[in-house]
């Protein structure tokens, strides 16, 4: 009988202990909710980071000494022949423009869309020195010409139009030449090729041949006829601007 009584007492004691534990746990959870709910972002103090995910690792600052390495410096050169992910090495030196012209071929077709892209990036990066039509009269060269700023060559010169191939123009944009800096880090390769097409278009517009003028004249006459047919200003489709905009005679 005594053993039965002892077991009942022990079971009751365990239930009491469990109850106190659950109550304490509930109190702690309630306090945590209140504390976390009262927290507001404050840039002046360090917030609690539950999952830092190695954000606070021990990084080596530039030019900082570090005894872990044999050289004692934290600035190490990458291993030989290291290539960044997604990087393609340009195979030509700055003096190998003619070689690049012989070996590189423009991968883009010459379409209206490509020319528009080339015009966009030409106006962003090139127009400041080469000017809007490639004559070398950009704002930068005009402003510094009195202090010795060299004038860029005309992009419609005979040398660039007839001697330079697309690959050499692409090479010059990539590596730079003379006072012109390299644009490899500023313009994507595909956009550089689009600029090459646009430079070719500027060259043809700046120094048109007799055949170019003939084609342009034929297209202009055709456009004029189409414009006259589609005109709604006068019945029959003819644009008699002299009759429409006839000025009154001067009266004294």
Per residue in 214-231, pLDDT tens? 877 777 666 666 666 665
Q: What is the mean pLDDT of residues 44-48?
A: 63
Predicted local distance difference test score (pLDDT) of residue 122: 95
What does the alpha-carbon distance between residue 93 and residue 62 come to, in Å, rounded to a whole number?
30
Residue 164's pLDDT is what?
93
Q: How would DSSP label each residue in 28-54?
A: HHHHHHHHHHH----TTSPPP-S--TT
Could you give the CA distance from residue 224 to residue 229 in angstroms, rounded to a whole number?
9
pLDDT at residue 233, rounded to an integer: 47
Taking the CB of residue 6, how many other CB atoms lie within 10 A of it?
Answer: 10
Residue in this structure with the two tokens 């044999």, named with its chain if needed: 70
Identify the pLDDT of residue 140: 83
Residue 152 dihedral angles phi and psi, to the nearest 5°? -65, 150
239 has pLDDT over 60 = no
Residue 191: pLDDT band (50, 70, 90) is very high
How far is 58 from 72, CA to CA, in rounded Å?
16
Using the predicted structure, report yes or no on whether residue 236 has a pLDDT greater than 50: no
Give yes or no for residue 33 having a pLDDT over 70.
no
* Structure tokens, 118: 């080339």
User: For the residues of 178-189, what is the DSSP string, one character each?
Assistant: TTBPP-TTTS-H
- The closest alpha carbon to 154, from 174, 131, 134, belongs to 134
Structure tokens belonging to residue 27 = 């109190």
pTM value is 0.58
Instruction: Kindly report the average pLDDT of the chain as a whole number.
Output: 77
Alpha helices in the chain (DSSP H): 2-38, 97-103, 112-125, 127-130, 139-144, 158, 166-175, 189-206, 210-229, 241-244
C-alpha 244/C-alpha 233 separation (Å) is 9
């Amino acid at each position: 009988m005594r053993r039965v009584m002892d077991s009942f007492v022990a079971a009751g004691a365990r239930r009491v202990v469990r109850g106190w534990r659950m109550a304490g746990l509930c109190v702690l959870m309630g306090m945590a909710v209140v504390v976390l709910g009262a927290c507001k972002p404050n840039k002046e103090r360090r917030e609690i980071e539950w999952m830092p995910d190695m954000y606070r690792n021990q990084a080596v600052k530039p030019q900082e000494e570090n005894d872990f390495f044999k050289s004692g410096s934290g600035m190490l050169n990458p291993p030989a022949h290291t290539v960044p992910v997604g990087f393609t090495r340009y195979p030509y030196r700055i003096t190998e423009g003619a070689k690049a012209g012989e070996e590189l071929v423009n991968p883009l077709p010459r379409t209206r869309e490509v020319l528009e892209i080339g015009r966009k990036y030409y106006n962003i990066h090139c127009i400041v020195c080469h000017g809007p039509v490639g004559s070398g009269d950009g704002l930068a060269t005009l402003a510094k010409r009195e202090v010795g700023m060299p004038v860029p060559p005309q992009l419609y010169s005979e040398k660039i139009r007839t001697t330079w191939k697309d690959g050499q123009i692409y090479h010059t944009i990539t590596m730079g030449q003379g006072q012109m800096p390299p644009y490899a880090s500023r313009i994507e390769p595909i956009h550089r090729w689009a600029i090459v097409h646009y430079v070719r278009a500027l060259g043809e517009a700046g120094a048109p041949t007799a055949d170019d003028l003939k084609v342009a004249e034929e297209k202009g006459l055709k456009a004029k006829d189409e414009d006259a047919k589609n005109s709604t200003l006068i019945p029959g489709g003819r644009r008699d601007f002299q009759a429409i905009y006839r000025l009154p005679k001067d009266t004294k």
